[in-house]
Amino acid sequence: MTMKEDAARQTSAEPPKTTKRKGTRSVSTLTPSQLARKRANDREAQRAIRARTKEHIERLERELEDLKGKHNRDDTVQDLIKRNKALETELKRLRESMGIPHTDPYPNSGERLETALQWPCEAKSSKVRC
């Protein structure tokens, strides 16, 4: 198509021509057996599409549940971290109020945690009875 023809067509009131796919016929020209076969193929294609859609939705729902579980675990971990910090702060405050020097709560040696911490009985305080 030349530029003049293209310009003339754009200015005319004619609707643009629709292009058909090669090798397709309208349903009205099909024989009854061809029409039945086409409808069976269409039904099967639609069934397959519905099955794929259903599987996709189920996969997305499983993924959503997994993400919700991870989110809940993250929330639990954050809550435990906050609780741990609060307990460490309280422990530090209690040690200071009893005059116990700070020790590493996670000793690297093989000692038991109880012996690694200085218990109130070992502190020289009149408030503590052993």
Asked whether residue 15 is domain-assigned, the answer is no
Asked whether residue 40 is domain-assigned, the answer is yes
Which DSSP category does 99 fall into? T
Per-residue pLDDT tens over the stretch 105-119? 565 544 544 444 444
Asked whether residue 112 is domain-assigned, the answer is no
What pLDDT, on the 0 to 100 scale, is given for residue 19?
Answer: 61
Asked whether residue 116 is domain-assigned, the answer is no
Tokens representing residue 3 in the block: 């530029």
3-state secondary structure 9-40: HHHCCCCCCCCCCCCCCCHHHCCHHHHHHHHH
What pLDDT, on the 0 to 100 scale, is given for residue 109?
Answer: 47
Cα dihedral sign, 14-20-22-27: negative
Asked whether residue 6 is domain-assigned, the answer is no
Print the domain residue range for 49. Answer: 30-98
Give the percent of the chain with pLDDT over 70.
58
What pLDDT, on the 0 to 100 scale, is given for residue 121?
Answer: 52
Per-residue pLDDT tens over the stretch 25-73? 688 888 999 999 999 999 999 999 999 999 999 999 999 999 999 999 9
Tokens representing residue 39 in the block: 């409808």
Asked whether residue 103 is domain-assigned, the answer is no
Confidence of residue 1 (pLDDT cuts 50, 70, 90): low
Tokens representing residue 60 in the block: 């997305």
**Residue 123 in contact with residue 98, Cβ under 8 Å?**
yes
Asked whether residue 108 is domain-assigned, the answer is no
Q: How many domains does the chain have?
A: 1
Asked whether residue 63 is domain-assigned, the answer is yes
Let me know the angle formed at the C-alpha of 55 by 52 and 60, rounded to the nearest 5 degrees. Answer: 125
